[in-house]
Amino acid sequence: MAVELTQNGDCAVITLNRPEALNALSFQILRDIGAAIDEVATRKDVRALLFTGAGDKAFCAGADIKELRNRSLVDQKRGAELGQSVFAKLDTLPVASVALVNGYAFGGGLELALACSFRLASVNAKFGLPEVKLGLIPGYGGTQRLPRIVGESRALEMILTGKTVDAAAAEQMGLVNAVVEGDIVAAGLKFAAGFTGYSLPVLELARRAVQRAGDLSLAEGLRVEADLSTLAYCTADAEEGMAAFQEKRKAEFKDG
């Protein structure tokens, strides 16, 4: 299977498993990623989703270039919409997602990582949007998500030059949350453990509020925050969290 879904404790792990093509995204693989994300959304015992790539060379080298040639414009547009809609599933997934970038994350591979809530990089990770070298521009969300994460100027530099950014530079520009040594899946599980113990509905409200920051004015965003923070306050977990503080004990959240 070119897309494998496994579970490690309370973390689902989606592995892109096509190392002979550096885990390039065929249209079938995109559809399989979409199905795997849908499956994760149904699992009540999953509290985070990790993505990784099989092999030691690549997270994902982007869209399968061999599939891209000689397509009608209609098919090309549908392909971009497919990639965009599959990656957008991560926005509405009830749990946060972490891209574990172990090697190349180019083109659509970087766009998948950008759609995740967080990104960790191995020391040998390399990031780029090299579409311009193919006479193309990013089509799976890169022109929209990259500037929201690293700012317009840095995003434009990557998109217009197609240059490769190494792990240290990616960390410096805020493209990744951290660079990790050793087993990146183990690092991803540890990173996820930093939030999976909290109330899932409250985590989801926090993600919703932050997501809106990218497309609302400050005044509108503050109104959204007031509404969503009030919703968080209404949960039983908020009552439990505040009671636990006052009673000087560890909170026991029940996702309610």
Residues that bind ligand CAA (CB under 6 A): 21-22, 24, 61-66, 83, 104, 106-108, 111, 130-131, 134, 136, 138-140, 142
Least distance between ligand CAA and beta carbon 26 (Å): 8
Residue number of the CB closest to ligand CAA reads 107
- Which residues, in sequence order, are CB contacts of 194 under 8 Å at separation 6+? none
- Which residues, in sequence order, are CB contacts of 45 under 8 Å at separation 6+? 7, 10
Contact by Cβ (8 Å): 103, 51 = no
Q: What is the DSSP annotation of 158-210?
A: HHHH---EEHHHHHHTTSSSEEE-S-HHHHHHHHHHTTTTS-HHHHHHHHHHH
Active site (catalytic) residues: 111, 131
Q: Indicate the residue among 53 and 201 with the shorter CB distance to ligand CAA.
A: 53
Least distance between ligand CAA and beta carbon 141 (Å): 8
**Distance in angstroms (rounded) separating the CA atoms of residues 102 and 153:** 26
Q: Indicate the residue among 51 and 106 with the shorter CB distance to ligand CAA.
A: 106
Q: Shortest CA distance to 24 belongs to which of 58, 71, 73? A: 58
Least distance between ligand CAA and beta carbon 30 (Å): 9
- In this structure, what are the phi and psi dihedrals at residue 104, rounded to the nearest 5 degrees? -70, 135
Q: What number of other Cβ atoms are within 10 A of residue 135's Cβ?
A: 6
**Distance in angstroms (rounded) separating the CA atoms of residues 255 and 147:** 33
Q: Indicate the residue among 20 and 247 with the shorter CB distance to ligand CAA.
A: 20
Kind of pairing between the strands at 96-101 and 118-122:
parallel
The greatest distance separating any two alpha carbons of the chain, rounded to the nearest whole angstrom, comes to 67
Q: Indicate the residue among 106 and 118 with the shorter CB distance to ligand CAA.
A: 106
Least distance between ligand CAA and beta carbon 34 (Å): 15
N residues, the chain: 256
Least distance between ligand CAA and beta carbon 181 (Å): 22
Q: Indicate the residue among 24 and 150 with the shorter CB distance to ligand CAA.
A: 24
